[in-house]
Structure 1
Amino acid sequence: MSGKGHHKTWRLSELASQAGGHLEGDGTLEISGLNSLKDAGTGELAFLANPKYLPELERTKASAVILPPDVPVRIAAIRSPNPYLAFAKIATLMQGERPAPLGVSSDLMQGVRCRLGKDLSIHPRVVLGNHVTVGDRVTLHSGVVIGDNSIIGDDTRFYSNVSVRENCRIGKRVILHCGVVIGSDGFGFAPDGNEYYKIPQTGGVVLEDDVEIGANSTIDRGALGDTIIRRGTKIDNLVMIAHNVEIGENSIIVSQVGISGSTKIGNHVTLAGQVGVAGHLTIGDEVTVGAQSGITRNLAPKKRVSGLPVIDHQKWLKAASSFEHLPTIRKAVRKLEERIRELEATRREAPGSSKEGGYRR
């Protein structure tokens, strides 16, 4: 968030107060925007949340920096035990208030008995089915389609081409990015000889308050009952969540994760990129799963696992460090096996050895 092109400025002391951080240096400095350590210039505030960027701290041209309490710095600073959170709070302040509501576009297409809240921003080419409820201060961008009997909570925001199918319930302050599909049919088919018979998917999807879902992610409706994403969970782009999955509160699901049907995931769980989860499993609270892992069994709370199939993360790191050496190890084992065979042959041929290969006393 560069300050280039922006006219508003903030005193550094004001930003420190917003972030709940400790001000160090000149609080009257005027700050026009945020930027990275590498790209920041005069009048901009940078931040350091990862030690790997310490060398850039020495070279930065920023006027001030957000950083941890124990990192020395030659310029003004806002010190925080959580610099990334401080950065987020300051970025929110600089973003400013939400623009005034646009109202409802004249080409809105809606079915019968829809209920629309106040202070709406409904862009052109939005479609609402029958009996849809839209709360207050909702923003629906172009191409949004909401199916029959769905409920959209206050202060939600759907970007272009979001589809929410029938009988879905969306909580307050939910953000759905471009191309998200909520409530597609679950992948349910009954074998019928050499063919498959489609199983009607009669459930819905529930997204609780403060859920955010990235572009082109999909969440299928339940076969019986609902697929549920609990309060505060954040889902990245290109994630697939199958029918009747339940994900607990404040969990993080990173890009290209696939979760099979009827799996239950606890609170504060992190699934890193490209994790695959088999169906009908239970994953406990505060579990962390490393990237590209495959989960094929239940996981107890607070486990940290990686690999395919998953094992303890530290064991996985040790195993992974050996992979590139496996060809060399294989050759060494073959040589040892050959040497053992030679020694056994020599032992059998030695004077005084028995036919069974043992020595006489």
Structure 2
Amino acid sequence: MELTVSQVAKFISGKLEGDGSAPVYGVAKIEDAHEGEVTFISNPKYAKFIDSSSASAIIVGMDFPATDKTIIRTENPYVAFLRVLRYFHPQKEMLEEGIHSSAVIDPSVFVGDDTRIGAGVVIGKNSVIGKNCRIFPNVVIGEDVQVGDNTLIYANVTLREQVHIGRNVIIHSGTIIGSDGFGFAREGDIYHKIPQVGIVIVEDDVEIGANCTIDRATLGQTIIRKGVKLDNLIQVAHNVDIGENTVIAAQSGIAGSTKLGKNGIVGGQVGIVGHIEIGDYVTIAAQSGVSKPLASKTVVFGYPARPIMQAKREEAALRKLPDLLKRISELEDKIRRMEKE
């Protein structure tokens, strides 16, 4: 596939400045881009690479400084570059048509039109698989599971019984949805298992990374709402409710019955205790520990998580503590010497 720079600018509704006749064959990072490739700058710290770049065109923001390089100005250079990336790297079909002969599918299962099912897949009784789905090898789907249209389930995923998956969902390899929640009742020194009889609902347009675990509710529902994006290695406990369009980075864990509002941002390795509510548009910085409810539009950091500017001031003061202790010790020695005189 080949475009000219002018065609790229038109394709992303951008404003071209420079040579529009140059051919474009692909895309690359700003550090690596060569002639014939398009790149982008959305983070100012990468602007330092523009002078050394050989890219045929660089997608930038509307307020980017003037340059002698060929640039395409857009409102959102990251999203614009994404469109170009998809053009040059369209998603390839990785499964053969139909259902692989080694798949084990109960006769009661409904499979929608144009769905492809790979080798070794197992699907239990009364499950419903929507149209145009892709289910890769060795996926296990339990009884009474619903999978919506256009959903992509990569190899070695497990969907246990009564899990509901929406439309346009992507689930990456190794993830398990619907495993038992961590529920035990203590009697003396003995722990009795509490039956986990609830379900998991994953709404439309969700993406779940590799090796995540999403537990079924004890009673009721664990819910991953529309547009949520989960990174790899995330634990979602029983009865958790994650609000629409919230994004959570890798190695984070959310304890049982906690509710996260919509449009939240959770950094990597964040721990959130159970039975609390976090508001809408909350940002939790990486490696924070959240032990109390958070109001909407809060930005927090640290352990315990607290307003980020407060946390930074406290961290800065803490770094000064060894020197302060040394100075105090020196002053105490000086006072003792003065008292002896």
Scaled by the length of structure 2, what TM-score is found?
A: 0.94
Equivalent AA in structure 1 for residue 168 of structure 2 = R
1:51 aligns with 2:44: yes
1:72 aligns with 2:72: no
Encode CA deviations 1:191-219: one digit per residue, 9 max, x unaligned: 02211100010011111111001111111
- Aligned mates of 1:106, 1:128 — CA distance in 2: 13
Encode CA deviations 1:297-331: one digit per residue, 9 max, x unaligned: 00000000101001111111222233333211222
Offset, 1:97 = 5.8
- The structure-2 alpha-carbon separation of the partners of 1:193 and 1:47, relative to structure 1 and needing over 3 Å to count, comes to same
Residue 268 of structure 1 corresponds to 263
1:25-104 alignment runs, 5 A limit: 25-69=18-62, 70-96=64-90, 99=93, 102-104=97-99
Match of 1:322 among 303, 314, 317: 317
- Aligned mates of 1:318, 1:18 — CA distance in 2: 47
Residue 220 of structure 1 corresponds to 215
- Aligned mates of 2:20, 2:151 — CA distance in 1: 36
Residue 5 of structure 1 corresponds to none
- Aligned mates of 1:124, 1:101 — CA distance in 2: 10
Larger radius of gyration: 1
Equivalent AA in structure 2 for residue 85 of structure 1 = V
Match of 1:12 among 2, 5, 21: 5
Partner-residue secondary structure (3-state), 2:205: coil
On the 8 A contact 2:5/2:56 being kept in 1, the answer is no
Encode CA deviations 1:125-161: one digit per residue, 9 max, x unaligned: 1110111100011001111111110100000101110
Partner-residue secondary structure (3-state), 2:58: strand
Residue 300 of structure 1 corresponds to 295
- Aligned mates of 1:337, 1:205 — CA distance in 2: 63
On the 8 A contact 1:305/1:313 being kept in 2, the answer is yes
- Aligned mates of 1:314, 1:340 — CA distance in 2: 37
Encode CA deviations 1:277-296: one digit per residue, 9 max, x unaligned: 00001000000011100000
Offset, 1:16 = 2.4
Equivalent AA in structure 1 for residue 205 of structure 2 = D
Encode CA deviations 1:167-213: one digit per residue, 9 max, x unaligned: 01100110001111111100001102211100010011111111001
Offset, 1:81 = 2.7
1:146-295 alignment runs, 5 A limit: 146-295=141-290
Moved more, 328-337 or 113-122: 328-337
Aligned residues: 339
Partner-residue secondary structure (3-state), 1:15: helix
1:21 aligns with 2:14: yes
Query: Structure 2, unaligned stretches of length 5 or more?
Result: none
Partner-residue secondary structure (3-state), 2:312: helix
On the 8 A contact 2:270/2:286 being kept in 1, the answer is yes
Partner-residue secondary structure (3-state), 2:326: helix
Moved more, 295-304 or 74-83: 74-83
- Aligned mates of 1:23, 1:200 — CA distance in 2: 62
- Percent sequence identity over matched residues? 42
On the 8 A contact 2:224/2:242 being kept in 1, the answer is yes
On the 8 A contact 2:278/2:296 being kept in 1, the answer is yes
- Aligned mates of 1:340, 1:248 — CA distance in 2: 60
Residue 120 of structure 1 corresponds to 115
Partner-residue secondary structure (3-state), 2:178: strand
Moved more, 96-105 or 106-115: 96-105
- Aligned mates of 1:224, 1:19 — CA distance in 2: 48
Scaled by the length of structure 1, what TM-score is found?
A: 0.89
Offset, 1:10 = 2.1
- Aligned mates of 1:68, 1:156 — CA distance in 2: 33
Offset, 1:341 = 6.5
- Aligned mates of 1:91, 1:335 — CA distance in 2: 62
- Aligned mates of 1:16, 1:209 — CA distance in 2: 32
